[in-house]
Amino acid sequence: MRHTILIALLSGFCSILFAGSDTANLFSVQASGDASGSVHEQPVTFDFSMHGESARQAWTIMVYMDGDNNLEHFALKDLNEMEKGLGKSVNIIVLLDRADRYDRSEGDWKDARVYHLRHDEDLNTIHSEIIAQPGELNMGEGKVLESFVSAAIQSFPADHYALIMWDHGGGWITHALDDKAPGAPKGSDYLTLPELSTAIRHSLSATGVKRLDMIGFDMCLMAELETASQIADLAEVMVASEALEPDDGWPYDTVIPEFSIPGKTIRKIAPVMVEAYHRYYREHGIAATTLSAYDLRYADAVRQSFDRVLQKLMTDVEQHGALLTRALFYAEAYQDRMDELPKGDSAISSVDMMDTLNRIRANSDPFKADKAYRQLQSDMEHFVLASQTGTAYRRSRGVSIYAPVSARQFNARYTQTRFGAASQWNSLLHRLYRYQQRQSKPVVTDLHLVDVRGGKVHPATMAKSFSTNAFQYTVEGKNILWVDAFNGRVSPDGKQYYIFDQSTIVDTTSKKSSWRTIGNEPYPLPHYTDGVNRDLVQYNGFHYVVSNGTHRAIGTTRIRFESPFITVPILYEHPDTGKQRGVIYFDDQTLAAERVVLYIPQPNSSLFLPRHITPKPDAKITPLIETITTGQDKTDYAPSQTLQWHQGLYLTLALATPGRQFVGWGCRRSGCNRIADSIHLICRKTVNSTPT
């Protein structure tokens, strides 16, 4: 069920306003980055000779497992799964760095160890041989990765080699985050794509191995074309996810046995890994998953075909700038695009590449790049060996790309990647940004309460629930990117606006269908008429609240264009994680919580990495209410009442409380460069309301 009240724009990574206990009482429910990488090279040399000479095996799998962060528990869990899945003719060498506060098991050691895995069925205790104890390591330092891979290849010869990178991931911007990194200038560190490729290239050169058979990323957001391009000459196959990975990551006890099947090549193993991953999460009822396998021999061909499409598109930027911007903004994305607007160049800004192009193609008349596009499709069929998605990402096609919507979001370090330096994508983005900067800002010129009876519009001063009340509005401008509406409550002193609901308004006065198709698949983009957009939106007089079956709390609900979810910003608190900002995704049909994503601040950085968690029953959930202070062009957050997760949360409806309510409309042109543009309140109106 969709909420029929259409509501508003504001969101983002803003400071949290703790308004005290009075805030929770006010909203009681009625009974009805910087990511520059390390600059310090930590000298480290691994010596595995103490274990004795190793016979040549079919496979040596090297696992670079950085658990020196809030994923420590899952590192230990996955290592146990690897032990269980280990079969004949396979060596698994794991470099595991632990944290000092997230998991107390296994003797609660806190530094780094190297394990030569041994098979066992015990999923609770590690039984493998420790072959090195190098002390505390900086896993965000490329020299550590280089030394580990070199030593593992030299000491454990095999016919085939695979490297699995295990940790947090943030696309091309960052991965392998180490919270306690000796030698790092500020005590924490991470790897960048150039550091990753340099380390692997040096280790292959030192050992005489031409290339690895596989590089796998058991990390979030790493299935970008930028990643594949960076390592295209270093491995045969890449396995990675476009979207966030749940905390459980890969199901190693079912993935690892594939490597023991005699004669099975990595191009046959990798698709089975993809299937095993999605089967595991389907069985656990998690729909927000993606995983793909790639034949890296075709990575450069895909980049070149993509460039030929871009060259055609660049000739039409002036004519189709609004279309291109809308395609970037509304494409299948792996973080909320509206949430990313205020985050500047620390935004992940990762979208599905083919979904973006399909929206451009479907909504262009004519599409001048059709021949180049068809060649790209053909190259993609060779490049993507296997790709599966959960129902939450049905538009994902296997390969994502960095796509900041405006110049303010673009991270200048992007050109340090191989793809960012070589592809035409960077040129197209900056040509589009120059177009955007020449656009004027749209305005809301009218907003008032009316009563619609008998097909006629009458003035009104009092809004009633389940009535014929509506809001009439007029939005004027050119190349409008989005129009949002919102409603909520006014504080007693009239200085604060508390937003209860937000939603995208699609296709205003034009009523013209923009749901164009390719084959049978629609690729919609909201359409707003250049000039005057005037329409009515019904007022229902109720809003969603969050419930655990016993207690309820108000939070700001957001309904985004084409999204199957209703989201609510929260504070999540549990001893395993501490207190973190996050978002709950509620299924828009069942209204049950489908997943919880936390945003983890990275030390010494403006970057917040998303993490898909499974909430604990005793976790405390505090829905957040977005607030606007009169005369200020920014949002804050006020905490509502705190609920325990128990068996899960869901949304239910509550009537609006009598008193002063407010409604507002916001709109944005195609492209802007200041936070104020992103959250500008064009018009707002307070009304009295009463339930019927």
Closest CA to 441 of 685, 684, 682: 682
571 SS3 class: strand
Amino acid letter for position 109 = W
Q: Which tens digits make up the pLDDT trace of 398-407? A: 999 999 999 9
Q: Which tens digits make up the pLDDT trace of 216-245? A: 999 999 999 999 999 999 999 999 999 999
- Dihedral (CA of 103, 107, 109, 113) sign: negative
In 354-386, which positions are buried (b, 16+ CB within 10 angstroms) versus exposed (e)? bbbbbbbbbbbeebebeebbebbeebbeebbbb
Size of the chain in residues: 692
Q: Which residues pair with 67 in a beta bridge?
A: 98
* C-alpha span between 500 and 487 (Å, rounded): 6
Domain boundaries, the chain: 21-31+443-477+480-687, 58-219+253-283, 301-382+399-437
101 SS3 class: coil
Is-contact 295 203, C-beta < 8 A? no
Q: How large is the angle between the packed helices 317-330 and 425-437, nearest 10 degrees?
A: 100
DSSP 413: G
* C-alpha span between 574 and 126 (Å, rounded): 26
- Locate all alpha helices (DSSP H) within 284-417, ordered by sequence: 299-314, 317-330, 337-340, 353-362, 370-383
CA dist list (Å): 585 to 281, 287, 351, 533: 17, 11, 19, 31
Closest CA to 326 of 395, 394, 427, 405: 405
CA dist list (Å): 158 to 4, 162, 275: 61, 10, 26
* C-alpha span between 82 and 368 (Å, rounded): 50
Phi-psi region of 196 (alpha: psi -120 to 50; beta: other; left: phi over 0): alpha
pLDDT for residue 196: 98
- In 10 A of CB 534, how many CB atoms? 14
First to last CA, the chain: 22
pLDDT for residue 687: 57
Q: Which residues pair with 536 in a beta bridge?
A: 472
pLDDT for residue 661: 73
pLDDT for residue 159: 97
pLDDT for residue 640: 96
* C-alpha span between 9 and 405 (Å, rounded): 16
Is-contact 661 487, C-beta < 8 A? yes
- In 10 A of CB 287, how many CB atoms? 18
Is-contact 140 178, C-beta < 8 A? yes
What fold does the segment set 58-219+253-283 form as a domain? Rossmann fold (3.40.50)
CA dist list (Å): 376 to 134, 371, 380, 418, 535: 47, 9, 6, 19, 41
In 388-401, which positions are buried (b, 16+ CB within 10 angstroms) versus exposed (e)? bbbebbebbbbbbb
* C-alpha span between 133 and 45 (Å, rounded): 11
* C-alpha span between 66 and 145 (Å, rounded): 11
Closest CA to 67 of 121, 146, 137, 151: 137
Pick out the chain residues at pLDDT < 70. Answer: 1-43, 52, 507-515, 603-605, 633-634, 669-692
Closest CA to 668 of 659, 655, 681: 681
pTM for the model: 0.91
Phi, psi of 252 (to 5 degrees): -65, -30
